[in-house]
Structure 1
Amino acid sequence: MTMTIRTSRTDEPASALLGTLAEQGASGALSTESGIVYLASGHVVHVESAVTPALGDLLTHSGALAADGWWAAIDQAGRRCRVGRQLVDSGHLAAGALELCHLGALFDAAYFVLAHDGPALRFRPGVAHWLGAVRSVPVDAVLRESRRRRELLHRIWPEPGVDLAPLARVPDAAPSDLPARRSRTLAQVDGVRTAAQIATALACRTFHTLVELRRLAAAGMVVPVATVPAAATTTAPATAAAPATAAPAPSPFPAPASAEPGPAPRPVAPDEPETALLRRLLHALEAL
């Protein structure tokens, strides 16, 4: 029987329900307003959110995997929910590389799913993600890492509007000697793109993009579009001044879970993989 939880009928946050499901050793998909958490035997096995790049994007855009290999694995094993295993067994990707990238995508999406810790919408027992088993993570570890990221971002810049709103440059801000990653991030701020869209354009993990954007906000170089000074309208790109042509912000609602793959990745410039951080996360999980 499916457990259905409606926002209007409960004040229980998603984190609390995740804890209950972990204690029960539940398997299935927990939906919130900003994503879906997939569980197997009470452990988190995957998290997806509409505002973070998908695992396939991270693998192919980083150069770790050819796009043909990704889609071949989906064609062969998607409906059996064994895409991850197919990638490794076919020799397209080393198991360690898959685990590292999967952990990065999982924690990125979990941050958005749990950032505001709103109420859960629905739990569907038995629903599995088409990726299949890669690396399970204890619920406590996911909650702890999401909290750590939230606190870190708050220390850098306490306004969370930077995370989801379209962003624009402050006209009079003159950047000088910015680190390379921050400079690349700033170059993508155009008055239309959100943090997630900027991360996708850079083929970079969303959390690291958020860190750079909040640093830019703290330095007075970037603001959400709603708070851009009037003078910005003279320097903003044409797309920012023409609602008919501006790209919409990503929907906060995730796509329905199924065995089918998501949309094809867009070709973008690759960014270096965050292997050092991901290896630390992997070692920490192995120590649990």
Structure 2
Amino acid sequence: MGRTGPDGGVGRFLVDSGRLSDAELEICHLGALFDAAYFALGHGSGPRGFQRGAAHWLGPVRAVGAVAVERETRRRGKLLDSLWPYPQVDTEPVVLRRPDGRAPAVTSRQRAVLALADGVRTPARIARELGRPAFHTLIDIRRLAAAGHIATPRPARPGPPGRPDPPGRSGACAPPAPDRGPAAAAFTDPDIDLLRRLRDALEATL
């Protein structure tokens, strides 16, 4: 930022100076963009609007259409649900459980997450303290909840029909996730109307 200023030249500077290749910059850009889109759109609320002409200090890397954003938002939601279909673990403070002997061993990466699970820190805060992407931390959280290492809080509102109640904060190891065929994936669609308006606005500028 000190060399390029806030006018969107950081990405190009990193490539031109040899610190990153074009492919590496694009991978970082797309990963961050699609992860951010999941948090902004994945639960159906969506942002209230977009600021016309807003630019990021990284600068232009690759144009991404609204259809691709929608597809990747859905894919991330389905991935998390396939691991453990209780989205409330994504936002509530992480509480440790004592799993039974059938629970799989944790990896070193997951162990670092468990070390910060104190019933106060949320997954987002744990991700910040570990310096990890928030979505990657959600994957660890869902896997740990499915294995019974962390508690699954009960939802504030009743879940969809057919979805089992989550395990409590005490008791036996969490049950395995239910069979989730293509038609049974419980995922809140992103704000489709918002994405379509965004697509139309982008196409109008071409």
| TM-score in terms of structure 2 length | 0.66
> Do 2:35 and 2:135's aligned partners in 1 also have CA atoms closer than 8 Å?
yes
Post-superposition offset of 1:204: 2.5
Q: Which residue is 1:218 aligned to?
A: 146
- Letter aligned with residue 99 of structure 2: A
> Do 1:167 and 1:189's aligned partners in 2 also have CA atoms closer than 8 Å?
yes
Q: Which residue is 1:127 aligned to?
A: 54
CA offsets 1:42-66 (integer angstroms, 9 cap, x no match): xxxxxxxxxxxxxxxxxxxxxxxxx
- Letter aligned with residue 156 of structure 1: L
Matched residues in 1 for 2:92 and 2:68: separation?
Answer: 28
CA offsets 1:131-184 (integer angstroms, 9 cap, x no match): 1111222211111011011112112212111112221102x3356522333333
Q: Which residue is 1:111 aligned to?
A: 38
Higher mean displacement: 157-166 or 118-127: 118-127
Q: Which residue is 1:147 aligned to?
A: 74
CA gap 1:78/1:195 in 2 versus in 1, 3 angstroms = farther
Q: How large is the Cα RMSD of the aligned pairs?
A: 2.5
Provide runs of 4+ in structure 1 moved above 3 Å: 224-231
Q: Which residue is 2:16 aligned to?
A: 89
Instruction: State which of 115, 138, 155 in structure 1 corresponds to 2:65.
Output: 138
| Structure 2 alignment gaps of length 5 or more | 156-167, 172-206
Q: Which residue is 1:185 aligned to?
A: 113
Residue 87 of structure 2 is aligned to residue 160 of structure 1: yes
> Do 1:115 and 1:146's aligned partners in 2 also have CA atoms closer than 8 Å?
yes
Percentage identity across paired residues of the two chains: 47
| Structure 1 alignment gaps of length 5 or more | 1-73, 232-288
Higher mean displacement: 111-120 or 177-186: 177-186
Residue 133 of structure 2 is aligned to residue 200 of structure 1: no
Higher strand share: 1
| TM-score in terms of structure 1 length | 0.49
CA gap 1:90/1:223 in 2 versus in 1, 3 angstroms = same
